[in-house]
A and B are shown apart, each in its own frame.
Chain A
């Protein structure tokens, strides 16, 4: 066979075979909104106030407002300072953001009065290093943290429990699960809650489901918080999602009325992916989402493109825009769970680079979340990081002396909590008359990596059991009682302490997590006081000693042995 194909170099063949060339890249198409953050079609900033009411927003008169404009004008922007703040030159605001001599509070006094287009105008001036510098100061909680996913390709509750336990032990402050088969949810949510508390008392858990079901599990005290409350930057896509800013604001209050922590979810690329970006850039639309969340009075936001990361990832400057959207959430004083979740690239180098703008400055939750199960078991369509990356992550933390929320844990401790989580769930299922967990499953769970390493469960019985959890009205209190009466006193106490928190409402405040001694830590009592070198959160002391440990570190005094 003859070929007319021109000869390619061996170098090209090598490059063609690199994983990065399996990723998708496209040209910008601003008319359709396929552009990260620099579009001629985005509006110019403007605001006009009459009789204590915003009557013009970013070039639009009130009569022409869509519902996003209306909600933002009515609820998000501080009317009293809007004209004055929006009149400040954007370059001055951008400089305030990176100036260590300007406190976080001083910046917030300006950002509260800015319009969406003005905020875009400010962050457009910033390169990625400046975005990171600003994030370091504007993150709401002083101490950074991380969130993990614990899911199972077979929805196996035993796996979810033990991987939650290991994840909690390794340092995740929050754990999230979701399902392949939605009807499994009650069993898996119980498993996550129990496993999480075994790993580290005070870890908060959630189960991502359709809005109404997610709320019901929360109301029952089976989960501790919620996050999958999606919002969108155009009216048409918001309506396609069967919600409005008012329905979502009502839902936010519904969660708070039950004492349940909650954040919204949004991200660049969702509108263009759902086919109606109305010709606006991804970041402009995301800023509208962020301000809508602010206006609803929700304490925080999960953003950073999230499940649409392939879209900004494919266009020029897209990952800079993703870093900018995290910054905007923080600079309007919202908790930011900053993405680095869904699978993003075939290239390890690119996956790591995508993380740097969140890991280096620190965010409220660097990942939202990190897959605490192998990627094939991740039911959120995979994550940017997974269990195989644990040692790499810990090494990067040690190399750069940054706190990404995790730590190395010795094998013996890992096996101990995995075994205990499996046994606790086994005892609880028996107590609640749910489908049995065998000793073989406990043994497998202790040493397993993926769902393939577990004996198969009887799915039909499990689904019947899951249904009975809902029908019998089982609540978090029943879980506490079950754990206590089956001899898992410490786990029961931990879960009761988490449930007790909803009576206090302390976890409703911005960026709240629970420490290992059950102290609520939020933007109120852990204020980000960054003011330049030597200030703010520093990885030092006991925590730094902890992060110096890796799987293999050679002893300084005896090179034949390893420490750690």
Chain B
């Protein structure tokens, strides 16, 4: 496990939506206070404005760490990385991780794409770990078999 910087937020800062709305922005850069009914009706807001920003997930990861939940924090850090990946590709990546859905090479490419294109090293590490376990447990795709 890599050492995380010490949390700046403490459990007393939760919930952020009430105690620290000033820290919350949409991925499009709008403050959370801009998500008003007027903005919805006038069409100023798109679905993109109702997504969580990677910075917010990092803040929630700090809160999880500060509450003694390191696995939850790690999940939020993977999630922060994943915000950059389009919905359809997230689903495709999930499907590739299903049993015998991808070869070792394909999982390697997936990890490279996560680490490179999306700057998602924590997610890439999860995929590499899966590839290693799948190889040992016979859960990689068999490219030439099972055609029928």
User: Which A residues are within 8 Å of any B CB, using their own CB?
Assistant: 66-67, 70-71, 74-76, 105, 108, 211-212, 215-216, 219-221, 235, 239, 242-244, 246-247, 249-259, 294-299, 333, 475-477, 480-481, 484-485, 489, 492-493, 496, 499-506, 508-510, 519-520, 522-525
Contact partner, A253, options B35, B78, B91, Cβ 8 Å? B78
* Contact in complex: B75, A298 (CB < 8 Å): yes
Chain A hits for B60, CB < 8 A: 505-506, 508-509
Distance between A228 CB and nearest chain B CB, rounded to angstroms:
15
Whether B74 and A66, one on each chain, are in contact in the complex, defined by CB atoms closer than 8 angstroms, is: no
Cα of A499 to Cα of B45 in the assembled complex, Å:
12
Instruction: Determine which of B35, B72, B95, B123 lies in contact with A299 in the assembled complex, contact meaning CB atoms within 8 Å.
Output: B72
Residue of B nearest to A251 (CB): B94
Q: Confirm or deny: B103 has a beta carbon within 8 angstroms of a beta carbon on chain A.
A: no
Cα-based distance from A493 to B37 in the complex (angstroms): 7
CB contact between A476 and one of B50, B53, B87, B134 (< 8 Å): that residue: B50
Q: Does B16 contact A (CB under 8 A)?
A: yes
Interchain CB contact under 8 A, B52 and A502: yes
How many residues on B have C-beta within 8 angstroms of the other chain's C-beta atoms?
62
A221, B47: Cβ atoms closer than 8 Å: yes
Q: Is the CB of B17 within 8 A of A239?
A: no
- Do residues A484 and B40 form an inter-chain contact, with CB atoms below 8 A? yes
Contact with A along B27-44 (1 / 0, CB 8 A): 000001001010011000
Please measure, in the bound complex, the distance between the C-alpha atom of A297 and the C-alpha atom of B73, giving whole angstroms.
7
Complex Cα distance, B143 from A125, in Å, reads: 50
Question: CA A235 – CA B40 in complex, angstroms?
Answer: 47
B123 near A250 with CB under 8 A, answer yes
Contact A250 B94, CB 8 Å, known A239-B139, A504-B15, A505-B56:
yes
Query: With the chains together, A59 CA to B46 CA distance in Å?
Result: 54
Q: List, in ascending order, chain A residues with CB within 8 A of B94's CB.
A: 211-212, 247, 250-251, 254
Decide if B11 touches A524 in the complex (CB within 8 Å): yes
11 A-B contacts (beta carbon < 8 Å): A70-B133, A246-B130, A246-B133, A256-B79, A259-B52, A295-B71, A298-B72, A489-B37, A496-B35, A501-B17, A502-B52
> What's the minimum C-beta distance from B42 to chain A, rounded to whole angstroms?
10
Point out the residues of chain B lying under 8 angstroms from A525, CB to CB: 11, 14-15
Additional A-B contacts beyond A500-B35, A524-B15 (16; CB < 8 A): A212-B95, A250-B127, A251-B94, A257-B80, A299-B72, A333-B69, A480-B37, A492-B37, A500-B50, A503-B26, A506-B60, A509-B63, A509-B67, A520-B14, A525-B11, A525-B15
Give B67's nearest chain A residue, CB to CB. A524
Residues of B contacting A243 in the complex (Cβ-Cβ under 8 angstroms): 98-99
A502 to B46 alpha-carbon distance, docked (Å): 14
The interface centre, meaning the residue of B59, B76, B134 with most chain A CB atoms within 10 A of its CB, is B76
B41 in complex: contacting residue of A251, A295, A485, A500, CB < 8 Å: A485
Give every chain A residue within 8 A of B57 (Cβ-Cβ).
256-257, 505
Shortest Cβ distance from B9 into chain A, in angstroms?
11
Smallest CB–CB gap between A306 and chain B, Å? 22
Are B98 and A508 in contact (CB-based, < 8 A)? no
* A71 surroundings in chain B (CB, below 8 A): 133
Which chain A residue lies CB-closest to B18? A519
Question: From residue 65 to 117 of chain B, which have CB atoms closer than 8 A to chain A?
Answer: 67-69, 71-76, 78-83, 85, 87, 90-91, 93-95, 97-99
Q: Known contacts A239-B99, A247-B98, A493-B37: does B51 contact A108 (CB below 8 Å)?
A: no
Cβ-defined contact, A244 with B97, below 8 A: yes
Q: When the two chains form their complex, are residues B64 and A509 in contact, meaning their CB atoms are under 8 A apart? A: yes
